[in-house]
Chains A and B, each alone.
Chain A
């Protein structure tokens, strides 16, 4: 399409090669965008389950999940609403560790992340294994706040951030790809920011 009359680039690109197309660097801010009432979840009653197509459906309490090998992510995150945030640090546990305990069935190809609010999002299993996804409860060395999904959220930083479900309570492994909340409401099934997979019909 032709250029917009009178519009010129005003922002630097950000760190070289780290800003996906159509994104901007939000700097020190961290926007909050949710579709639901923010739940206040008590750590003492919170649990995380891994079930569906697994050999050993497993549920962890807060204390139990803390005993799993700690894993952290240091890098960038990208929201479909066009902000990106560089050099964030999250800590929690790798999804690989959770799946290892539950024993995925070889037929499982997708994961549906469930939040305690009822929010869901679907992910190819290949996008959450091999060190690419975490369940996190710390941001920048501090407990994750409720508005950002605390006490515990999913983190899949190489995909748009709606895939990083807040207030995570359950990971379900499936054979088929079942659309999650935003995916049923017009968003892309995979959500790769580098391919600009924002909405249904995008490449």
Chain B
């Protein structure tokens, strides 16, 4: 792995706990909640970074999870997309209980590896709710007038399972549905023939999605000729 030392020095230093207020809340799909928040004493963030959201019970019991930021740094609010997981202690609260105006404990931005520097040509190969960092990168690229630098292939089972699909498609992303036919392609996973042209001229690939998706995406990228060192991965999910 190559670690770009210049990355490590940008945004160095620690972040403290602060508070965020929910300004808007909506449900792009029944299992997805989108929160746009005003964060006190906000630090600048890179696309690809995440925040912690911490909930505190009256007995001081706490639960915290990390969520990728969907918004660009130029956005006055910080946007998160949260998947409501069954028995998900934090995600169920955010989906079902939290209301506009509520204050939440927050900490961020965090993560100096899975982030885009806004000038390196890169490909995002993302799946399901793993699209969120690709959304932030796309928005940042547009803000910097360099939409040519970020290419996105977003993969989902169906339109309902792929948040931000319309926004990404409008920005030129390749949208792949594995179980839903479109006029552009039959259902099925992305192929090497589809990914290879997207890799031309890129220096880095960002993979984000479930563990199963990440396995698939890593293999596809390496088989398409990208070196493992050029691939940054953010995977989530569990095994038995």
Could you tell me the distance in whole angstroms from the C-beta of B74 to the nearest C-beta in chain A?
22
The size bracket of the interface on A is: 35 or more
Query: Interface readout for A35-46 with B: 1 if CB under 8 Å, 0 if not?
Result: 111110000000
Cα–Cα, bound, A186→B13 (Å)? 8
User: Quick check: which of B131-139, B192-200, B229-237 contacts chain A, the rest being far away?
Assistant: B229-237
Cα–Cα, bound, A74→B122 (Å)? 43
Cα–Cα, bound, A185→B211 (Å)? 22
On whether the beta carbons of B228 and A36 are closer than 8 Å, the reply is yes
Residues of chain B contacted by A185 (CB below 8 angstroms): 3, 7-8, 111-113
Could you tell me the distance in whole angstroms from the C-beta of B239 to the nearest C-beta in chain A?
5
On whether the beta carbons of B16 and A201 are closer than 8 Å, the reply is yes
On whether the beta carbons of A29 and B239 are closer than 8 Å, the reply is yes
Q: For chain B, what secondary structure do more than half of its interface residues adopt (helix, strand, loop), or is it mixed?
A: mixed
Q: Nearest chain-B residue to A11 (Cβ)? A: B89
User: Quick check: which of B27-35, B58-66, B165-173 contacts chain A, the rest being far away?
Assistant: B58-66
Residues of chain B contacted by A202 (CB below 8 angstroms): 14
A131 interfacial contact with B, CB 8 Å: no
Cα–Cα, bound, A182→B8 (Å)? 10
Q: Number of B interface residues, CB 8 Å?
A: 57
Query: Interface readout for B7-23 with A: 1 if CB under 8 Å, 0 if not?
Result: 11000111111010000
On whether the beta carbons of B14 and A200 are closer than 8 Å, the reply is yes
Could you tell me the distance in whole angstroms from the C-beta of B218 to the nearest C-beta in chain A?
4
Interface residues of A in 82-134 (CB under 8 A from B): 82, 117-119
B184 interfacial contact with A, CB 8 Å: no
Residues of chain A contacted by B65 (CB below 8 angstroms): 81-82
On whether the beta carbons of B1 and A7 are closer than 8 Å, the reply is no
Q: Nearest chain-B residue to A202 (Cβ)? A: B14
B98 interfacial contact with A, CB 8 Å: yes
Cα–Cα, bound, A148→B1 (Å)? 18
A34 interfacial contact with B, CB 8 Å: yes
Could you tell me the distance in whole angstroms from the C-beta of A183 to the nearest C-beta in chain B?
10
On whether the beta carbons of A10 and B89 are closer than 8 Å, the reply is yes
Could you tell me the distance in whole angstroms from the C-beta of B117 to the nearest C-beta in chain A?
13
> Are A6 and B93 also in contact (CB < 8 A) when A26-B238, A35-B114, A186-B112 are?
yes
> Are A201 and B59 also in contact (CB < 8 A) when A32-B237, A37-B228, A117-B1 are?
no
B201 interfacial contact with A, CB 8 Å: no
Q: Nearest chain-B residue to A182 (Cβ)? A: B113
On whether the beta carbons of B3 and A3 are closer than 8 Å, the reply is no
Cα–Cα, bound, A3→B235 (Å)? 31
Cα–Cα, bound, A114→B89 (Å)? 35
On whether the beta carbons of B66 and A81 are closer than 8 Å, the reply is yes
On whether the beta carbons of B222 and A8 are closer than 8 Å, the reply is no
A75 interfacial contact with B, CB 8 Å: no
On whether the beta carbons of B93 and A1 are closer than 8 Å, the reply is no
Can you list 10 A-B contacts (CB < 8 A)? A1-B19, A2-B103, A6-B102, A7-B93, A9-B61, A36-B228, A119-B1, A147-B239, A148-B239, A184-B112
User: Which residues of B pack against A, CB within 8 Å?
Assistant: 1-3, 5, 7-8, 12-17, 19, 54-66, 89, 93, 97-99, 102-105, 107, 110-114, 211, 215, 218, 222, 228-229, 231-240
**3 closest A-B pairs (Cβ-Cβ)?**
A201-B14, A118-B1, A29-B238
